[in-house]
Amino acid sequence: MVGLNITAGVLSWFQVTATEITAQHHVIATGETQRGNQYPLPHANFRIGDIVQAGADAVIYSDKQGQVVRLERTGQTALLFATHDATPDGQPRIVPWELGIDQRRSSRVLKRIGFALSVCAAVLYLKGLPFGAFHSPLAN
């Protein structure tokens, strides 16, 4: 279970297996659990750090190699951030781990471990990605 979130009385998360990511939604008031979209991703269970929903047919995930990737239901991917592009040689690597997205699903925010947050913000700005503020997982 990854990407646990609660919005408007619906508890949501992603099941990650060796072949895919599957969205799950649990309506607290009724106790009903629904299976959502599936996103094909080989070896997802070994790769994923965190996942957020990014619209009806896409998710954004961080992986254990320091990348942030948009994944469509079709399996198409787009690299949004890569550690090797954002970290000067000889410096500690930026490792985005926890992801968040604002309620309009337009801002991508990162919480990362072991390096100045301002560096991540600068990288997102230079890559042309909209972003809000860095946040705590408790801020969801």
- This prediction's pTM: 0.67
Residue 45 sits at φ, ψ, to 5 deg, of: -65, -20
pLDDT 10s digits, 95-134: 666 666 665 544 344 443 333 333 444 444 444 444 433 3
For residue 97, the enclosing domain spans: 2-139
Q: Please give the tally of structural domains in the chain.
A: 1
Residue 66 pLDDT grade (very low, low, confident, very high; cuts 50, 70, 90): confident
Residue 84 pLDDT grade (very low, low, confident, very high; cuts 50, 70, 90): confident
Of the candidates 91, 90, 127, the one whose C-alpha atom is nearest the C-alpha of residue 110 is 127
pLDDT 10s digits, 6-37: 989 999 999 999 999 999 999 999 999 999 99
